Structure formats: structure tokens, C-alpha cells
Structure 1
């Protein structure tokens, strides 16, 4: 194993039983050891997502996890050590990771071990201080756009566009040459997606008859695809703008599930990772400045507070800053 100066113990946030946010407490734990195909990450920041809350509650626990469990599925930081088989990154590289499987614990910690295949070098266009909140949503948004499979110039309606996955989907869609109608949440959300390049920005809390009229004005034949980050009556109404033969895609976990539409395909998807996906994501990101919008930052010792904030409404993402 090639390694930098790594301590034996580290600060982390962990829980000993499943339950509410109060279960997550500050801890001192051993730094995990890396196998031949793993990387030890010196964590700078970790994203806080609904998937972390599900892990804490006991319904989405990575296989092989043992108490105390350190949550956290995504992070950014520097490589502190690499196993003997690792060739894609080296000690000192600035990287990001979506750790799909993490039996040695997640990223709410000063150090974390992860498979090298989940790690990619961070493009210069992403601010390093915010990058920990990018990987899961960016990869999931890319999967959603792949499900739609739209050609350059096509119209896509992104519902929930000011949320964590939505605001990244807006940027990735524009990089693919798509024309974007972004349905965001309230004035702050509309301002965010407009700044990120949406061709038409709408408030999902506004007059839906006016919104549909505005959509039909720019896309008189209907939109070619809908990417839905949330479900419900507002989505059902705005999805009337989807043309015959169009596709509505939504990430698994959206509730209520978007209803079937005559003449359209409705399809769920999951985020996928791996070397090829990470390379493709990086190629899109490197096309220009890429914003990961952070609603609020929390110190590692305030992880329980971050999980309570998850239960409220906010644009973009929540972030734990470790260093």
C-alpha cells in the first residue's frame, strides 16, 4: 500500500442503532484499512442526502455494514493511500466519490475507504469546497437524461429543477445541447435555474394554466421529455405538455409515483457509477463552470442537525464540511 501520513484514529459521526437524527453522534474511530482494490480518502466534505436518512433509519443499509455505522454515500477529498492494484488515482489527487457499497463505513468521517472504481479526479470547473455534494445527484441526473435519450435541440422539462438533482440536471442537459424548461420552487429556485442556463424558468407554486401556456409558446408541439424529481398533482398537470411518443423519467424513490400517460412512456431509473460513467460525467462537467448549489453547511459534529434540516425545504444540497 502506498500511503501518505495517515493517523490510526479519526473523528467521525456514527450511530449504534437505527432511528431518528439524534442517533448520530460524534465519535473517535479507527481509520479504515484499505484492500488492494481500494482507496483511502482524506475527506474534505460529504454530501447529506435523503439516502443517508434512510440508512440511519435502517431501510437502506449497505451490505456488510456493522455498528457503529458511519453514514454518507458521497464525498470529495484527497487520496491518502491506495491499494496495490489501484492505477486510476494516486496519493495526493483531489477526487470525488459515490461509494455505492461501503462495508467499511461512509464519508461522515475524516477518512474513508472505498473501491477505486467509484473514485474519479475532480474537474477543475467544480469548486472543491462544494464537490462532496455532487456525485450522487450528478450521476443520477445523467442516468435520467440517458433514459430520455433526447437529441440536441430537443425540449426537456425538468420538474423539481432547483433541488439537489434537478439543478445539476439543468446544467448537464444544457451541455448535451438540450433546450430546458425548468420548473423550480418559488422565487429563489427560479432565480437559481435561470442563472444556470434554463431556457424557460417557471415557479411550480404559481398559476399552472399560465405555466402551460408559457410552455406551449416555446414548444408548440409539446416537450420531448420530462425529467421528474418529484411527483404529485402539479407534475401531473404540467406533464400534459409532453408530446405523443415522449418519455417521462423519474428516479426510483419519487413519491407519489408519476402516473402513466396515454401515448407516452413513463420509466423509473437509478443512478449508476463506475469508471465509464465517471469519465462521461467529467467530460460533460469540463465543458464549463459547474455549480453545486449548497443551501447550508454543517460541521462534522453537527451531522444530526444536518439530518433534521433534510426534513425541510431548501434549494440545492446540504453539505458536511470535514476540513
Structure 2
């Protein structure tokens, strides 16, 4: 099969496009012919070798942790999916090697949910990792109806989904973003504020008593600012720096595969309650350009690869 992989660690320059062995279909796994694969910051961090201490890692590594496509084959113990089904999935495994930037990918049946017909391939490929990260972090801080929730990096891949999911749950949302993205954040249903040194004062101007919960997808000062603004720092979460968020009394969230939650997210998108902003779709052969765009740090919504 054709795939994007790296045989050494580094930046976009280490990515190669070429042939790799087809995935093995285990007893409870599902083989999918990929139509679109999500591009996420964790992808280039894996490429740089940052996760070697967190997961057993093997080279060459095929990049990518989420995808959408058509079921090609299933193992004998799989009963709820069949060849021809259209699916989307978050394919994080217990090791780093066999990712989604490829024509074929295999994952346990727990990784996959059926794709609603209303979702395009690009939207379905962009949703799993970012959507599950947003949903699970909001659940960790118990964001719900009547809450005021602060979302850091509200125009980014995870943040723009978190804004909409929180709004769908009945929360008021304040979202941090650069000034050029404020109209976009407003269109999602949030009240935008400029990130940086004046953030705490800007949020307090909108919510004088502070916020009920805060979720962070950027790290750095945002973690401290969340704790300063939250009525209860235990209702703050970050997916960036486990030590820093623990130090202020908050929670570290590392996204987990969950087929039921993924189906829930897909239904929200299909029903129009949540929209997935895809800034650009790159062909598989231009994965290095997608990484460069992601590393630039100014992506509005998501990037995807099409296969």
C-alpha cells in the first residue's frame, strides 16, 4: 500500500511517500480503505520523537491517528461492522508505528464508528481525535447547562469543536483567539477575548465572578490563567502539560478511543449542532506541506489529507 512514513525523527523533511506492507487484520480488528486522514499537532510531535517516552515506538512509522474510509475486511470476531460500511475512527494504539496516513489502516473495532451519510470524507476524517479531545475534556470539568466555560485556543482544531459542544450542552462560552479570528469565534457561539497578558482582565470584564470551568489546548500561561479565573481550579483541564496543570490543581486529559462518544459526535455534526471547519485538504503526497501549515500555529479549525 502507499503511505506517508518516516524512518528517522525530525521535521516535515523526514516524511517519505512510498510502499509499506498492508496492515494485518487480527481477530477483532477492522481493515479500512482510507478516504481522508486528520492532521493534528501530535503527528509532527511524534515525528520529532517527543512521544518515545510515552509509547513504545518503532521505525519506520506511518503517521496519523484518525481517519475515515470504507471497511475492506473484518476479523472473525467482529460482528457490528462489515465490508462496505463507511466509518470514522480514532486509531491511537498502545504503540507508535502503524498510522492513518495510508491507503489502508487496521484498528480494533472499538476504534471505529459508523459515518453518517451527511458527513463528507474530509469532515469525517477531521473529527475523531479533535472531537473526542474536546468532548472528553469538557466532561472532565463537568461543563454543562448554565455554566460559563473558558475555552483556550477557541479557533483551533480542538477548540472550535469544544466551543460548539459546550454551547450544545447549554453553557455560555468565552473563547480565546487572535483578533483576526474573533468573528469566527463569534460565529461558533462564543464571546471572543484576545489571548496574552491581558486575558484575565478581559475575561473578568465579561464574567466578573470568574468562570465555572476552563479547558486549555495551548499550554503555557493559559494553564495558570485558567486556575486564576476558575471558581474551582479542580474544574480546569489541559491536554498539553500534565505537570503544569496538576500544579494548579487541574486535570490532564489525554484523549482515549471511544466508539460510542465518536458516534455521538458524528451525530451532532450530522444534525448541524456542530460544524467541523476544514481549513484545507491536502493530497496524501503533500503531507509535509500539511505539517508545515500545522506547525505554523495559525490553522483555523482542521487540516486533512485526502487519499
TM range (shorter): 0.7 to 0.9
Could you report, residue by residue, the CA deviation over 1:232-262 in whole angstroms, capped at 9, with x for unpaired residues? 34664575432256621111x349935855x
**2:182 matched to 1:226?**
no
**2:196 matched to 1:196?**
no
Residue 205 of structure 1, CA deviation: 5.5
Task: List gaps (5 residues or longer) in structure 1.
Answer: 1-9
Q: What is the alpha-carbon distance in structure 2 between the residues aligned to residue 313 and residue 245 of structure 1?
A: 27
Do the aligned partners of 2:135 and 2:162 also contact (CA within 8 Å) in 1?
A: yes
**2:44 matched to 1:53?**
yes
Output the aligned Cα RMSD: 2.7
- Larger CA deviation: 174-183 vs 290-299: 290-299
Residue 150 of structure 1, CA deviation: 2.9
Do the aligned partners of 2:88 and 2:125 also contact (CA within 8 Å) in 1?
A: yes
2:109 to 113, 116, 141: 116
Q: Which residues in structure 2 correspond to 1:137-152 (within 5 Å)?
A: 137-152=130-145
Do the aligned partners of 2:39 and 2:290 also contact (CA within 8 Å) in 1?
A: yes
Do the aligned partners of 1:126 and 1:289 also contact (CA within 8 Å) in 2?
A: no
**2:168 matched to 1:183?**
no
Q: Which residues in structure 2 correspond to 1:10-159 (within 5 Å)?
A: 10-60=1-51, 66-101=58-93, 105-159=98-152
**2:278 matched to 1:281?**
no
Change (3 A) 1:233 1:51: closer
Do the aligned partners of 1:74 and 1:107 also contact (CA within 8 Å) in 2?
A: yes
Helix, strand or coil at the partner of 1:131: helix
Q: What is the alpha-carbon distance in structure 2 between the residues aligned to residue 237 and residue 16 of structure 1?
A: 40
- Larger CA deviation: 160-169 vs 16-25: 16-25
Q: What is the alpha-carbon distance in structure 2 between the residues aligned to residue 255 and residue 36 of structure 1?
A: 35
**Aligned structure 1 segments of 4 or more residues deviating by more than 6 angstroms:** none
How many correspondences in the alignment? 304
**2:243 matched to 1:243?**
no
Residue 28 of structure 1, CA deviation: 1.9
Helix, strand or coil at the partner of 1:51: helix
Question: TM-score, normalising length from structure 1?
Answer: 0.84
Task: List gaps (5 residues or longer) in structure 2.
Answer: none
Do the aligned partners of 1:13 and 1:70 also contact (CA within 8 Å) in 2?
A: yes
Do the aligned partners of 1:229 and 1:254 also contact (CA within 8 Å) in 2?
A: no
Question: TM-score, normalising length from structure 2?
Answer: 0.88
Change (3 A) 1:297 1:35: same
